[in-house]
Chain A
């Protein structure tokens, strides 16, 4: 019996660090101030690294859809920010951003719905160590940020009765390294000869062996693995 399908799941609330002491995290809905800070401080550092899949991304364009969730768009777009909590200053330091659509035909069963990750990005260490007024020491940097950001999508899917189903396209810029990374997180890879569900993507961006997805059991396994951080 998988109780988490019935009860839902809490988002991650902390991350391990090199120092051995966990750092407090908060998962919150993505808002314009998060994205403005990200785009003025984090994105310029990401853009210096041409090997990153998120090089050149523009979150100021994506956030508009995250703000439209109350308009009941059929695809249910949602945006989340994972931030480091700085209680003494009353601030949150965005360290990962996720934009997804919450209602997309599932890749493992086209008759079901799941979440589809549109954009997912984590802050490079350098960006977190060079914040004006709050530089984070190297041994206090949150680890496993990518895994935590991916868990946000699985948690969203479980909490919205999608049984943890999540799919995404591993950007070609990320090469085999990115594909392997998702595979190591327990995601299945849709082979190039398998068809996408009947959505426009099937024709504009057909399967080329870079679509990854969590079927329900894999998603629950991945979710359980991060329970100590909730």
Chain B
């Protein structure tokens, strides 16, 4: 921890992105990377995990969105935990929901 921003820019540069344009680099990681084949994404992840940047690409790392709203609670559900780790009330509710007669309600 951590991989410098330059290392991310170097990866994006190999895919035709201008590495000095951080917004373009961000865009590539958010939108284009997920469309690549899994094996290629895996390779990029491995490279970034090991990488500390060659320093060949010089970029301005500070680039902020102008404003963004606070995330909503509904779109941020609690991270899942194993069934038995939940409180007993929740365990029972989750078990009851799995019963065939309760499905589809």
* A positions within 8 Å CB-CB of B: 4, 6-11, 26-29, 31-34, 36-37, 39-41, 43-44, 47, 53-54, 56-58, 60-61, 63-65, 67-68, 71-75, 77, 80-81, 83, 85-87, 89-94, 101, 116-120, 131, 133-134, 155, 159, 168-171, 199-201, 203-205
Contact = CB atoms under 8 A, between A and B. Distances in A.
Given A7-B82, A40-B68, A33 B75 contact: yes
A225 B34 CA distance: 38
Contacts of B70: 37, 86, 89, 91-93, 131, 133-134
B65 A40 contact: yes
B49 A101 contact: yes
Contact of A92 (B62, B76, B84): B76
Interface residues of B, number: 47
Interface in B42-94: 42, 45-47, 49-52, 61-79, 81-82, 84-87
Contacts of A6: 84
B64 A44 contact: yes
A-side binding surface: helix, strand, loop or mixed? mixed
Contacts of B47: 200
Contacts of B5: 56-58, 61
Nearest to A173: B2
B46 A75 contact: yes
Nearest to A199: B50
Contact of B76 (A8, A67, A83, A117): A83
A64 B29 contact: yes
Contacts of B64: 39-40, 43-44
Contacts of A116: 49
B26 A86 contact: no
A203 to B, nearest CB: 8
Nearest to B42: A73
A60 B29 contact: yes
A200 B100 CA distance: 49
Contact of B49 (A32, A87, A118): A118
Contacts of B25: 61
B78 A77 contact: no
B33 interface: yes
Contacts of B46: 75, 200
Nearest 9 CB-CB pairs, A to B? A8-B82, A200-B50, A8-B85, A7-B84, A36-B68, A33-B71, A28-B76, A91-B70, A64-B29
A150 B50 CA distance: 21
Contacts of A58: 5, 8, 22, 26, 61, 63
Contacts of B62: 44, 47, 56
A229 to B, nearest CB: 14
A84 to B, nearest CB: 10
B66 A40 contact: yes
Given A43-B64, A118-B3, A85 B73 contact: yes
Contacts of A71: 34, 38, 41
Given A40-B64, A43-B64, A86 B81 contact: no
